[in-house]
Structure 1
Amino acid sequence: MDSKRDYNHNNEDNNNHHDDDDQVEKWVPLKERKAKKLKQYSETIKSSLPQSDHHDSSKIKKDISDEKKDGQESSEGDKNKYKSLIEQKLEILKQQEQMQKEGKGFNEEEERIKREEEEILKSIKSFVPLVSVKDRAKDVVYKDSIKTDWRPPRYVLDRGESTHGDLRQALHIHVAGEEVPPPLTSFAEMKLPREIIRYLKEAKGIKKPTPIQIQGLPVALSGRDMIGIAFTGSGKTLVFALPMVLLAMDAEKRLPIEAGEGPFGLIICPSRELARQTYDLVNALSDAIKKERGFELRTLLAIGGIDMGEQEHLFKRGIHMIVATPGRLIDLLNKRRVSLAYCKYLGLDEADRLIDLGFEDDIRTVMDYFQGQRQTLLFSATMPKKIQTFARSALVRPVEVNVGRAGAANLDVIQEVEYVKQESKIVYLLECLQKTAPPVLIFCENKKDVDDIHEYLLLKQVEAVAVHGDKSQEERDTAIKAFKDGKKDVLVATDVASKGLDFPDIQHVINFDMPKEIENYIHRIGRTGRCGKTGVATTFINKNQSESVLLDLKHLLIESKQKVPQVLLEIQDDSSSYLMTGGVAEEEDQSLSCDYCDGRGHRLINCPKLKQQQQKQQGSKRDFMGGDGGY
């Protein structure tokens, strides 16, 4: 027992002695452990050195300090290791801001982004030209424009190009192309028939042309292919409808049309409502000519929801002009009810929508039915650069007429953006209706919201009608007519009513939902502020919207010199710099924008619309290959 006790006692003494020598603790921070080891190391080196080597102590001190520095950096690295992702992101943003202020690394990053965008553009531009299969197979290329008998007055030509340029600059008209016809400031200078000028003045109240008409009509009457870009409500429809009527009138005078012949001109629209509106204008112009000159110009309206049997008399007598939507037109062409053999005029309204994802194949199919050259005109309020490049492949010596910036909002519209929670929107809607007197147009993203809001307004005794794609054509026509005639105060609709429809008296547009693309927003708010009148557009936003479209909205408000709400100002944006003054922003640089969709809130490298199209294409490839891309 004693020996055992003595053994334990000796063990404890040994352990205590070991602790005293090495001073080992249960846990010591890395920094302190490294410092102690360095101290021990330096003491060992000093003791082993002879007295004559003391002059090298400075070198030893330097080595020790380097060791300490490495230890500190290692310790700091451990601290960064445990930082949250948010903290690390904030540090990176601060470093980027500092680099931009100092000018370090910014140019290199910008060059890298530009190189990536150039590669993307190259892949986008590899498209099939928008021409018929026959012309492409025979490698037919038209180099000269369609010849017409129309000429501008001699005294206008004698003014010189510098005078024409001054007029365009004063009216904010931008043109591009070879031998652009001069702008003409009156319908008389355009040599329009007296009955047409009288109809425009007495029936439509149009005494002088708008900027897009001042330059666009001379281009169209000259037989030139054209891309026309102007804000909504600027009078674009007359620019492509009137030349077609005059072309049909000239053809009828030379050789009257017979049964089964025609048309001489064709206008394609993306929606039924827009096609009917264009058809009504073409019919009104034709009626004015019939009253004065005695001969009839017949126009076929080819849209879904109409029984073509009701228009059988037109097929029997011959058709001078057609206004159509793509689906019904292709059906008539496939059934050989109409022929485009003599058609020499093609107008595409809302061309960006027709050439975009949904209708591109349909437009190509229609092109295959043309024989020979035709005059082609494309018009829209929004025309992204990618669409412009694509459209030019179908044009011969085109003239581009741009009033303002492509995709810019109408400056006659006061834009108000308000943050409203999703559950509060329908209740707040009634308060918004009090801003102006009727008529008011309410836009929604989906059909269910249209029906819910329509029912809610009827319960609140508001005279309202609704329009969306699931309603029959008769219901849609009746609702729009009642709204236009002033019998109803509110129209609730999806984007089917946003493209080109003319509601001249609308004072207020409410976006119940912010659309997913900024182009749709521009088309929506363009239903008010038309023909020089002022309108109000109220838009509800909340956390359900993507940051990308909110950035585009922010930049659009800045460009239009509108008040920018604080919720939009707080969104991080590094595409360009702006000066903020009391919630109103003045732009410093507009050079950075998306070359694909023309959005101002992002670059091509992170364009959501391009990504969406690429995903759709990849999805269609997977479906074609059998679900997962395999055979």
Structure 2
Amino acid sequence: MERKRHHEEASSESDDENYVPYVPLKERRKNEILKVTKKLGRAGRLLQEEEKKESTDDGGMQDEEEEIQVGPNANMSLLDQHSELIKKAEAKKESAREKLLKEEERILESVAENKALMGVAELAKGIQYQDPIKTGWTPPRAILAMPKERHQRMRKKMEILVEGEDIPPLCITFKEMKFPHIILKALKKRGIEKPTPIQMQGIPVVLMGRDMIGIAFTGSGKTLVFALPIIMFCLEQEKRLPFVKNEGPYGLIVCPSRELAKQTTEIINFFSRHLVEDGYPALKCLMCIGGMAIKEQLDMIKQGVHIIVATPGRLMDMLEKKMVNLDICRYLCLDEADRMIDMGFEEDVRTIFSYFKGQRQTLLFSATMPKKIQNFARSALVKPVTVNVGRAGAASLNVTQEVEFVKNEARMVYLLECLQKTPPPVLIFAEKKQDVDAIHEYLLLKGVEAAATHGSKDQEERSWAVDQFRKGAKDVLVATDVASKGLDFPDIQHVINYDMPEDIENYVHRIGRTGRSANRGVATTFISKACDESTLLDLKYLLIEAKQKVPPFLAQLEAESEKYLEIGGEVGCSYCGGLGHRITDCPRLEAVQNKAAQNIGRKDYLASNAADW
């Protein structure tokens, strides 16, 4: 028993020796701080003294708080922490936006044309005009005497955006523009009492001899902005020194389609006839378009001509064969300029510029002009003035846009129902020529008075169809996009899109055939599963911008970069003008780059084969 007790005592002694007393967490931290301060020396001791001071000031509660606090922001309130997190998120967002803007700038630079939109001779000789052409027209003294603030208020009220140096003041009546009394009378005959916003600012700019980029929605009266000044300039030249045989033109207007060229010629001839009736000299306006006998056009040129309205193909042919010259031409207008450049006429336009013998006044007009085209076009202009009414590529607010989901096989039958929405005339657009012919045949079988036009029909048939429709002899005109650009049908109340065009610009031009000159109109568009999603996204945001009803099947579509659709002062894509994407996701740019890559590959293949031979 004693031995046993001795063993128990020995074991208890050994346990006491191995026993480590519990040290509270606070003391352990202090010990660690002491070790660190010994290593740091004087700086550590000072730090320790400051900590002791703070602890004595705050009392014993400080120690407990130190144990509870966790993380760097533990001493901040939840509200402060929340606001701090929001700031960090916004900073990250801004950096992402900046990164996207830089990427877009890089893409725009890469797709920018290296060669300026100037004549070959001017590029070769390095000719650059510094000052605009001077004319004898000046605004009335009363307008000039008004303060600049008044003009700025008027522009803001009319939603006119103007860029450029020494911008001429706007004139709010045709009388202030100093047109002859007979021109004012002719305007009233056409039902035009007062100028539209683009005319208020655009006509004074052109009359003063300034180069101009004019952008306004369809049906806003852009044609008169360049037609009336060119008539006045030619009239002035004819009065000073009458035109002789083989002389002219003084003014040149280039249009992308024959129908638009014909319409512009008719407008100029209308005002010229009224001037002759009032005792003014006769002005000769020649239309040069394909599909017509060239002999008649040559006979008129030999007699001397003041104005030529032409399409690029026929004009190029006549210039190359020296049937016409631009020696005295001082006025050039490109109507629907962006469409011409997009349609592949860019080299033709550059070649036309090279036939000018001196400086000219250059005007570019369109309803849709993306930033890329504007920047490219500026290389051809001297100190240009950009007049923009609304956003470039915006749809007319006078048009009620209705978008309906219709299966491809049901579209033809549904057309008849849509024709009942409004009384005639009605314009139907289709992308393919075979669809135009099929719709035309179907409507004729159903007893509808219809006409059709597209690029494969001869010129006589195309002109007849448009004339019959304009006169009211035909209730429906079925057409491809040749009839969508610039044509003026003032009585049309309804436009039907049998299919959604690939480009949103074409859609804007199509629906712009109705709702013109402050009239109201309806546009019905058929959508199916075959439509490209990127085009539908552009359509969705175009409807939202115009405050139109967005159907559910469009509303559910969401852009991947939706939060970045409006950044850097630019809305949507700066390449094609679509609102549903940015240039980084532009399908049109991607298609152009793919086509260019294919052509490069083909050229390399042909070149290698030629080398083998």
TM superposition score category, shorter chain reference: 0.7 to 0.9
Q: Which residue of 2 aligns with 1:409?
A: 395
Q: Which residue of 2 aligns with 1:379?
A: 365
Q: Mapping of 1:120-135 within 5 angstroms?
A: 120-135=107-122
8 A Cα contact 1:498 1:527, kept in partner: yes
Distance in 2, Cα, partners of 1:478 & 1:101: 66
Deviation of the 1:366 alpha carbon: 0.4
Q: Which residue of 2 aligns with 1:420?
A: 406
2:436 counterpart of 1:445: no
Q: Mapping of 1:109-124 within 5 angstroms?
A: 109-124=96-111
Out of 177, 184, 188, the position equivalent to 1:201 is 188
Q: Which residue of 1 aligns with 2:583?
A: 604
Out of 292, 297, 319, the position equivalent to 1:311 is 297
2:333 counterpart of 1:359: no
8 A Cα contact 2:230 2:331, kept in partner: yes
Which region of structure 1 is more displaced relative to structure 2, 349-358 or 422-431?
349-358
CA pair 594-290 structure 1, distance change in 2 beyond 3 A = same
SS in 2 for 1:457: helix
Q: Which residue of 2 aligns with 1:49?
A: none
8 A Cα contact 1:383 1:407, kept in partner: yes
Distance in 1, Cα, partners of 2:507 & 2:212: 25
8 A Cα contact 2:429 2:480, kept in partner: yes
8 A Cα contact 1:100 1:106, kept in partner: no
SS in 2 for 1:376: strand
Tell me the amino acid that sits aligned with residue 164 of structure 2: G
Tell me the amino acid that sits aligned with residue 616 of structure 1: K
CA pair 487-137 structure 1, distance change in 2 beyond 3 A = same
CA pair 588-129 structure 1, distance change in 2 beyond 3 A = closer
Tell me the amino acid that sits aligned with residue 323 of structure 2: R
Q: Which residue of 1 aligns with 2:227?
A: 241
* Structure 2: gaps spanning 5 or more residues: 1-17, 22-84
8 A Cα contact 2:212 2:362, kept in partner: yes
Tell me the amino acid that sits aligned with residue 242 of structure 2: P
Aligned-residue RMSD, C-alpha:
2.3
Q: Mapping of 1:143-542 within 5 angstroms?
A: 143-202=130-189, 204-542=190-528
| Alignment deviations for residues 318-371 of structure 1 (CA, whole Å, 9 cap, x no partner) | 111100000000111011111101000000000101122411011011011011
8 A Cα contact 2:428 2:476, kept in partner: yes
Distance in 2, Cα, partners of 1:138 & 1:311: 33
Tell me the amino acid that sits aligned with residue 297 of structure 1: L
Out of 121, 124, 136, the position equivalent to 2:123 is 136
8 A Cα contact 1:509 1:537, kept in partner: yes
Distance in 2, Cα, partners of 1:522 & 1:471: 25
8 A Cα contact 1:381 1:406, kept in partner: yes
| Alignment deviations for residues 72-118 of structure 1 (CA, whole Å, 9 cap, x no partner) | xxxxxxxxxxxxxxxxxxxxxxxxxx999966954444343323212
Q: Which residue of 2 aligns with 1:13?
A: none
Distance in 2, Cα, partners of 1:242 & 1:498: 23
Q: Which residue of 2 aligns with 1:563?
A: 549
CA pair 313-629 structure 1, distance change in 2 beyond 3 A = same
Which region of structure 1 is more displaced relative to structure 2, 136-145 or 534-543?
136-145
| Alignment deviations for residues 46-85 of structure 1 (CA, whole Å, 9 cap, x no partner) | xxxxxx9999xxxxxxxxxxxxxxxxxxxxxxxxxxxxxx
Deviation of the 1:454 alpha carbon: 0.5
Deviation of the 1:408 alpha carbon: 0.4
8 A Cα contact 2:427 2:476, kept in partner: yes
Distance in 1, Cα, partners of 2:419 & 2:88: 47
Q: Mapping of 1:7-46 within 5 angstroms?
A: none
2:554 counterpart of 1:575: no
Deviation of the 1:627 alpha carbon: 5.1
8 A Cα contact 1:508 1:535, kept in partner: yes
SS in 1 for 2:333: strand
Which region of structure 1 is more displaced relative to structure 2, 370-379 or 565-574?
565-574
SS in 1 for 2:562: coil
Q: Which residue of 2 aligns with 1:581?
A: none
SS in 2 for 1:232: coil
Deviation of the 1:198 alpha carbon: 1.1
Deviation of the 1:461 alpha carbon: 0.5
Deviation of the 1:592 alpha carbon: 4.3
CA pair 102-486 structure 1, distance change in 2 beyond 3 A = same
CA pair 157-576 structure 1, distance change in 2 beyond 3 A = farther
8 A Cα contact 2:288 2:297, kept in partner: no
Q: Mapping of 1:33-72 within 5 angstroms?
A: none
Deviation of the 1:310 alpha carbon: 2.3
Distance in 2, Cα, partners of 1:315 & 1:151: 32
Distance in 1, Cα, partners of 2:477 & 2:365: 26
| Alignment deviations for residues 280-324 of structure 1 (CA, whole Å, 9 cap, x no partner) | 111112112222224221111000011021234312211111000
Deviation of the 1:501 alpha carbon: 0.2
Distance in 2, Cα, partners of 1:272 & 1:409: 24
Q: Which residue of 1 aligns with 2:593?
A: 614
Distance in 2, Cα, partners of 1:103 & 1:166: 35
Tell me the amino acid that sits aligned with residue 161 of structure 2: H
Distance in 2, Cα, partners of 1:448 & 1:99: 57
Tell me the amino acid that sits aligned with residue 149 of structure 2: S
Distance in 2, Cα, partners of 1:54 & 1:456: 102
Distance in 2, Cα, partners of 1:259 & 1:342: 13
Deviation of the 1:628 alpha carbon: 9.0
Tell me the amino acid that sits aligned with residue 463 of structure 2: D
Deviation of the 1:575 alpha carbon: 3.3
Which region of structure 1 is more displaced relative to structure 2, 310-319 or 430-439?
310-319
Query: When the two structures are superposed, what TM-score results if normalisation uses the length of structure 1?
Result: 0.81
Query: When the two structures are superposed, what TM-score results if normalisation uses the length of structure 2?
Result: 0.83
Aligned residues between the structures: 529
CA pair 629-121 structure 1, distance change in 2 beyond 3 A = farther
Tell me the amino acid that sits aligned with residue 296 of structure 1: A
CA pair 513-629 structure 1, distance change in 2 beyond 3 A = farther
* Structure 1: gaps spanning 5 or more residues: 1-51, 56-97, 579-586
Deviation of the 1:621 alpha carbon: 2.2
CA pair 53-573 structure 1, distance change in 2 beyond 3 A = farther
Tell me the amino acid that sits aligned with residue 304 of structure 1: G
8 A Cα contact 1:446 1:494, kept in partner: yes
8 A Cα contact 2:199 2:222, kept in partner: yes
Which region of structure 1 is more displaced relative to structure 2, 116-125 or 165-174?
116-125
| Alignment deviations for residues 8-67 of structure 1 (CA, whole Å, 9 cap, x no partner) | xxxxxxxxxxxxxxxxxxxxxxxxxxxxxxxxxxxxxxxxxxxx9999xxxxxxxxxxxx
8 A Cα contact 2:211 2:381, kept in partner: yes
8 A Cα contact 1:234 1:531, kept in partner: yes
CA pair 462-405 structure 1, distance change in 2 beyond 3 A = same
Q: Which residue of 2 aligns with 1:92?
A: none
Distance in 1, Cα, partners of 2:186 & 2:410: 48
Distance in 2, Cα, partners of 1:53 & 1:139: 98
Which region of structure 1 is more displaced relative to structure 2, 118-127 or 457-466?
118-127
Q: Which residue of 1 aligns with 2:62?
A: none
Distance in 2, Cα, partners of 1:625 & 1:367: 32
8 A Cα contact 1:623 1:629, kept in partner: no
Distance in 2, Cα, partners of 1:589 & 1:626: 42
Tell me the amino acid that sits aligned with residue 603 of structure 2: F
Tell me the amino acid that sits aligned with residue 179 of structure 1: D
